Amino acid sequence: MLEIKNLHANVDGNEILRGINLTIKPGEVHAIMGPNGSGKSTLSYVLAGKDDYEITEGEILFKGENLLEMSPDERAAAGVFLAFQYPIEIPGVATMTFLRTAMNAQRKARGEAELNTPDFMKIVKQKASELKVSPEMLKRPLNVGFSGGEKKRNEIMQMALLEPSLCVLDETDSGLDIDALRVVSDGVNALRSPERSMLVITHYQRLLDHIIPDVVHVMSAGKIVKSGGKELALELEENGYADYVNAA
């Protein structure tokens, strides 16, 4: 599904990613943990194609294709979804309008017919209720005035609607209380399937109690310094990142 080879990336001349190697097979859920500033969020933005990042070395293959040559919207249409750590507020754009535009744009890019209004409404209502997103929220401008929990539920609802093949979750647990964390995790788990891979980026182990990963990676100073099974997350929770920071 995803193959990252020796990826180096700069922001404003500072090297943030210093040789990432990562392979995710279809159906796998990988977690990346690491201290603040280790480059976790940068990796998620690079995957989604934000243009503040300069790729100096390495490559990313997504379903065998060169991801780095694609624009952000092409990547989305190809099946890459980023759940933002800080979802962007866009005043004046109704959430519903946004969802419809995004879904139809992706369908069009893939050569599929656009959804008609009743079908669209039906599918949105269903996914919204699963993620406890109220109809009133859908009418409001995108993310404007949403609480932290509402924003994150909105992200996962979008993920459910857009049905990507690679889900990148950037600190999806940040700012969530226990109940919201459960709703969001259930939403994510419902999307697990043999065809869909996930990359879960988090600082804390608690999210991984709910979304059980197949592989856990530790990232420090722009590199993956250790990989292991889900028990690695518990070990980190116990001992902190100090050993890895020093090692890097």
Partner 1 sequence: MTAQPQKIQTQGETALLQQLAVLDLDPTRQAAADRLKLNGLPHRRVEEWKYTDLRALLKDVPQLSKAKRTAASSVAKPLIPADFVLTVVDGIPQEISAAGTTASAEAKKAVSIEIGLGDASGFHEKANTNVDLNMALASSGFIVRFSKSATPPVVFIDHIVSDADAVTAACRHSVVVEKGAQAVLVERFSGPDDTAYVASAGLSVIVEDGAKLTHARVVTEGIQSSHLGTIGARIGSEAVYEPFVMTLGSHLVRTDVQITFDGERSHLGIRGATLVKGKDHTDMTLEVDHASPNCTSIEQFKSVIADEAKAVFQGKIMVKQIAQKTDAKMMSQGLLLSENGEFLNKPELEIFADDVICGHGATCGDIDEDMLFYLLSRGIPRPIAETMMVQAFVAEAIEDTEQPAIIEALEAILADWLAKR
Residues that bind partner 1 (CB under 8 A): 48-51, 71-73, 75-77, 81-82, 84, 87-88, 90-93, 97-98, 101-102, 105-106, 109, 141, 158, 162
Q: Which is nearer to partner 1, 47 or 221 (CB)?
A: 47
In angstroms, what is the minimal distance from the CB of 185 to partner 1?
A: 22
Which uninterrupted H or E stretch holds 231?
A: helix 231-239
Q: Shortest gap between Cβ of 78 and partner 1 (angstroms)? A: 9
* Angle at CA of residue 85, ends 89 and 70, nearest 5°: 85
CB of 41 to partner 1, least distance (A): 13
Nearer to partner 1, 65 or 73 (CB): 73
Helix 117-130 × helix 95-109 angle, to 10°: 110
CB of 82 to partner 1, least distance (A): 5
Torsion of CA 20, 26, 29, 32, to 10 degrees: 10
Shortest Å, Cβ 117 to partner 1: 18
Q: What does the angle CA 116 – CA 197 – CA 138 come to, to the nearest 5 degrees? A: 35
Q: Are 168 and 47 in contact (CB under 8 A)?
A: yes
Nearer to partner 1, 6 or 71 (CB): 71
CB of 76 to partner 1, least distance (A): 3
Residue 69 DSSP label = G
Min. distance of Cβ 219 from partner 1 in angstroms?
A: 22
40: tokens are 């976790």
Nearer to partner 1, 44 or 205 (CB): 44
Nearest to 16 by CA among 50, 52, 49, 42: 42
- Distance in angstroms (rounded) separating the CA atoms of residues 184 and 26: 22
Q: Which is nearer to partner 1, 58 or 141 (CB)?
A: 141
Complex with partner 1: residue 100 or 217, whichever CB lies closer: 100
Phi/psi of residue 197, each to 5°? -105, 160
- How many angstroms separate the CA atoms of 135 and 181, rounded? 21
For partner 1, the closer of residues 28 and 155 by Cβ is: 155
